[in-house]
Every structure is written in C-alpha cells, then in structure tokens.
A = this chain, B = another copy of it.
Amino acid sequence: MKIDEKYYRTIKAFPGAGSSKNASFWGVEIIDQTKLPHRFELFQLNKLVEMITAIKTMQVRGAPLIGAAAAYGMALAVQENADDGHLAKAAQLLLDSRPTAVNLRWAVNRMLNKLSSLPIESRCKAAWQEAALICDEDVTLNHQIGQHGLGLIQTAASQKQTPTFNILTHCNAGWLATVDWGTALAPIYAAHDAGMNIHVWVDETRPRNQGASLTAWELDKHGVPHTVISDNAGGHLMQHGQVDMVIVGADRVTSTGDVCNKIGTYLKALAAFDNQVPFYAAVPSPTIDWKIQDGLSDIEIEMRDGDEVSYISGLTAQGEIETIRVTPEHSIAINPAFDVTPSKLVTGIITERGVCAANALKSLFKD
C-alpha cells in the first residue's frame, strides 16, 4: 500500500547487500515496525541471525509476514551455507522464534521441501526465487480475501439504515501484518476504495498496542476514517449498536474453525455473539492448521515477557521515543500473547476461496 503516495511492501529482497556490494549477495529490507507510528524507518538484514532477531523482537510481525520473513530467513541461511545440515539448523531456529503462528512453520517447510530436492549449487538462487514467490502469493491471497470480504460488507451495509458502516478490528491484520493488503483490513481497504462509507473502531490491543500504533497508522496513511478505542470499550459499543461487523485476522485456525489470534480476540467474539454482531476472521489458507481440531488444547500459546505489560513506549512532548513503567515497582506481570476463539462464536471465515461457516473450512478446501 502507499505511504505518502509511495508504494511499499512490508518486505523485499535487494541485490548488493552488506559491505560486499556484490550484486550476487542479496539482502532483505523490512519496515521496522517497532518504530511505528512515530518513526517510519526501513531496516536492512543480511544474515539469518538478524532475521531471527527481527521476528523475535517483532520488527516484523503478523502471521503472514512472519511466514514471508521466515522464507527470506531461509534464503539468507542458504546464502551463508547451502548444505543440508545448515538448512535444518536454520529451519529449527526459525521455527523456535515464534511458536504460535502456523504460517512460519508452513513457510519454513515449503522452503525446506523445495531446497532439499535441489543440488546444493542451485539452492541459493532457488531460495530467493521461492521466497519472492511466497510473497507474491501472499499479496494475491490477500487481494482475493479483500474482494470476498467486500461482498460481505456490501450485503450487510445494504440492510442498514444509516450511512456509515462501522467495523471493529483487533490488533493489526493490515498490510503491515502481511506482504501487502492485509487480511482483516483487506476487505476494509476494498470497501473504502469502492467508495463505501466505512469507519473502523481500532482496538488499542495491549500490551504491544499494535492496533493503536500500526492499524491506526496504516488506516490514516490510506485515508480510512477510524477511531482508536481501549480494548475494554468494544463490548459497550456493540451493546449500543455502534458496531456493524467485527473482522479480525488470525495466527492459526484449526480445521474445525477455532481461531487463534491476538490476546483479547475471544472477549470481542463473546461480545459480538451476545449482541448479534457478525464476527469474521480473515484467513489466507497458509494460516489454517489442518492437523489439529481443538484450538484450546492443541495450540501452544506464546508467553511473552511480562515487561511488555509493565513498560510502554511512546513519544514525549519533545518528540523523543521514551519507555515508561506503568506498574508498581514490585508487581510482576504475565503476558500470554494469543487466545483461542471457539468456532461456535465465529460467524464465518473469509478466505481466498470465499466465505464459509467456521466449521466448514474443509468443504472450501477439499481439493
């Protein structure tokens, strides 16, 4: 999408990286998302270890983008050493960097399968090509999700008396969470670009504030009307008819339609269900984990550092980025990063193949 009229993707490869200035040595450029919304900075990576750090520290985040980043991580690894042992080690390091997002595993396995079938001398070029293909496919999938979601929004809006259609979203499942377009925000961009009167309630999404910092930022850059709310406010807005639809992304969806997404998603799904507000997850197929049925018992929930709750970063009046502590000196915090919304609370899943009931994913992807 565009930032100040210039087109960007969240991740791209470029030749002549590092100090070598050798055109056959490639690097990866990302948007450093830990600096948003206060600074827009690009960041260049030349080594696998740098990509692992970027994933762990959430310079890149969002399930689809983590997948793309992991694919490029494998390409960086191959560039260092293309033998089987090094690839296996690189794959394990990447798999361990974030446990919850299934796209990471999907992308690493796809790269491993592709590369291990090739002679060592062909692997480097093939790795960069395959990673680029994964990125291009992500853009296509998300664009298709946007079009299917647009149809849903148009139908729902046509049954409404008031002009503005209000969509609530949690965390960031926008273009910053993918290579482009986003998942949950793809239908929103499609509807806005189609001239619809869309307004987005942006959940702040504590503790890392991806809603307030990333979703609000990218909606602002694209010109989509939006309002930031505390994570606590969505239920109240739904009780008072101010939310027409909820659309969230997902880090993993089970074959039975349980949706694992950013912590707090479950609470919004409960409120949507209680107030008859349709609740959708927008999910490209690499996010579906066909191997598991029970999201609550079978998905490992990443426990991140409690300091992400105790400390918050932002911009001072002097324009400096400052980190402050918001909890008492002796109080500890814990930080489960995701929760699971049972499929019974999910109105439907928006995929690249269309929209289906949460428990009907298999019918949509039977081939």
Query: A364 within 8 Å of B by Cβ?
Result: no
A37-B271 in contact (CB<8A): no
A209-B326 in contact (CB<8A): yes
Query: A226 within 8 Å of B by Cβ?
Result: yes
B322-A324 in contact (CB<8A): yes
Q: Interface size for chain A: under 10, 10 to 19, 20 to 34, or 35 or more residues?
A: 35 or more
Partner of A232, one of B217, B231, B334: B231
Nearest Cβ in chain B — how far from A101, in angstroms? 17
Separation of A306 and B204 alpha carbons in the complex (Å): 12
Query: A309 within 8 Å of B by Cβ?
Result: yes
- 0 or 1 for each of A224-266: is its CB under 8 Å from B? (1 = yes): 0011111111111101100000000000000000000011101
In the complex, which residues 181-238 of chain A have their Cβ closer than 8 Å to any Cβ of chain B?
A: 202, 204-207, 209, 212-213, 216-217, 219-220, 226-237
Nearest Cβ in chain B — how far from A335, in angstroms? 7
What residue in chain B is nearest A313 (Cβ atoms)?
B324
Partner of A333, one of B220, B228, B306, B336: B228
Partner of A324, one of B306, B309, B314, B327: B314
Query: A163 within 8 Å of B by Cβ?
Result: no
B213-A230 in contact (CB<8A): no
Partner of A206, one of B230, B266, B311, B329: B230
Known: A231-B230, A267-B271, A309-B229. A216 touches B322 (CB 8 A): no
What residue in chain B is nearest A234 (Cβ atoms)?
B267
Separation of A271 and B174 alpha carbons in the complex (Å): 27
Separation of A82 and B231 alpha carbons in the complex (Å): 46
Separation of A263 and B38 alpha carbons in the complex (Å): 28
Separation of A340 and B275 alpha carbons in the complex (Å): 13
Partner of A331, one of B228, B230, B317: B228
What residue in chain B is nearest A217 (Cβ atoms)?
B328
Query: A154 within 8 Å of B by Cβ?
Result: no
Query: A325 within 8 Å of B by Cβ?
Result: yes
Known: A228-B309, A229-B333. A328 touches B236 (CB 8 A): no
A332-B228 in contact (CB<8A): yes
Partner of A314, one of B266, B312, B333: B312
What residue in chain B is nearest A228 (Cβ atoms)?
B333
Query: A276 within 8 Å of B by Cβ?
Result: no
B267-A227 in contact (CB<8A): no
Query: A301 within 8 Å of B by Cβ?
Result: yes
What residue in chain B is nearest A319 (Cβ atoms)?
B325
B312-A233 in contact (CB<8A): no
- The 5 A-B pairs at the shortest CB distance, nearest first, are namely A232-B264, A314-B324, A37-B328, A236-B339, A270-B270
Besides A204-B207, A205-B232, A230-B264, 11 other A-B contacts (C-beta < 8 A) = A220-B331, A227-B331, A228-B306, A228-B327, A230-B335, A233-B334, A236-B266, A267-B270, A267-B271, A312-B314, A313-B326
Residues of chain A at the chain B interface (Cβ within 8 Å): 37-38, 202, 204-207, 209, 212-213, 216-217, 219-220, 226-237, 239-240, 262-264, 266-268, 270-271, 274, 296, 301, 306, 309-317, 322-336, 338-340
Identify 25 residue pairs between A and B in the complex whose beta-carbon atoms are under 8 Å apart, listed by A's number.
Answer: A37-B331, A206-B231, A206-B232, A212-B310, A212-B331, A217-B331, A226-B331, A228-B309, A228-B333, A233-B334, A233-B336, A235-B264, A236-B263, A236-B301, A236-B338, A236-B339, A239-B296, A239-B340, A240-B296, A266-B271, A270-B274, A312-B324, A312-B326, A314-B325, A322-B324
